[in-house]
Every structure is written in C-alpha cells, then in structure tokens.
Copies of this chain bind each other. A is one copy, B any other.
C-alpha cells in the first residue's frame, strides 16, 4: 500500500508532514504501508517557509499509488495553472482508493479533476478563491475535513493530521488511529471519542 505525497515548490511544510507523520506511524504497525514523496522532475523542492525536502520519485517513475496526498501552500496558486501537474494528479488518482488534499491542495484536486463537482473544504482564508473558480460542487467551512466518495479534503494545515487519522481508522480500525494519535501525542483534543 503506497501513500504518495505530491511535492512542489511553495507547499506548506506542515500540510505535508502532518499526514506524513500519521501515515508513517501507522506503517510501524502495518508494514504494508510505504510513504513516498513525488515531485514533477524528481528533484527536491523548497517549501513555502523555506524548508527543502527531497523527492523519492518524479512523475515519470512514480509507482501506482493507493492513497494520494496533495498539500497546499502558496505554491498551489502557480501549480493550478501547470497542466503537467494537473494531468499527473488526474492519472495518479485513478489507482487510488483515497484521494486527499490538505489546505489549498483542494485547489489542485478540483482543477485536476478528482474533486471537481464534489463537496470539499480548504483553508478558511481560501474559501472565496476556491468558490470563485467554480470547480467545486460546494465549499464547506468550519469543518476539519470533508468526505465525498473517495475524495477527502482537509481544512488548513493542522487539519491534515485529523484527516489522516480518520483515514487510518477507516482503512484499518479506529484503535489503530488512536494508537497513532497517542504515539504522536496529538492530544490537544483527540479526533476520536471512545
């Protein structure tokens, strides 16, 4: 089971690493899970806040994915007009059981196709932008994440952690999600009640 994280310049650091931490912590108990980072050219990227991260694959050599994670960040404003990136998202989503985004990653998921016409969410500061593009079916506010079919879009930044925990609970069992939550001490408020 491969969870692929899309990298591009200007992605928001925590949009990427929150879900990465959750999925890879789940992988400690479910060894069939593998997280991979994928950029257009296979090279590293500079995130929105300056951290530089390397890719494991480029679009041309990325494996088929089971889960796609598209982070947000100011780079989405550029990438939403990048046909190669949008086409890759559309193609990569075909093999996926779950197609997900964090924050303004939903701009890319709606533009690319997988989330077009669906109920989605995004960072609170980007709801007007996303609505204005007219590609989403509905843009919900004041929610941590929205599930529409196999597309799950999270609100801003930290909400990607909640979304990933929910998915771990869906795919395996809530007990595993709670175990991951405890491992990463995501305790300000547990996303699950018992």
Contacts and interface: CB of A to CB of B under 8 A. Distances in A.
A112 to B, nearest CB: 23
Interface in A80-137: 123-125
B156 A183 contact: yes
A2 B124 CA distance: 30
B188 A189 contact: yes
A1 interface: no
Interface size class of A (residues with CB under 8 A): 35 or more
Contacts of A191: 188
A121 to B, nearest CB: 11
A55 to B, nearest CB: 9
A186 to B, nearest CB: 4
Contacts of A144: 187
Contacts of A183: 125, 156-157
Q: Indicate how many identical chains form the complex.
A: 2
A191 B188 CA distance: 7
Contacts of A140: none
A37 interface: yes
Interface string A159-194: 101100000000000000000000111111111000
A10 interface: no
9 contacts: A14-B21, A16-B17, A21-B157, A44-B52, A44-B54, A144-B187, A156-B183, A162-B188, A188-B191
Given A123-B185, A155-B185, A158-B188, 8 more contacts: A13-B24, A16-B17, A17-B17, A17-B18, A20-B51, A21-B157, A52-B53, A54-B54
Interface of A: 12-14, 16-18, 20-21, 24-25, 27, 35, 37, 44, 49-54, 123-125, 144, 155-159, 161-162, 183-191
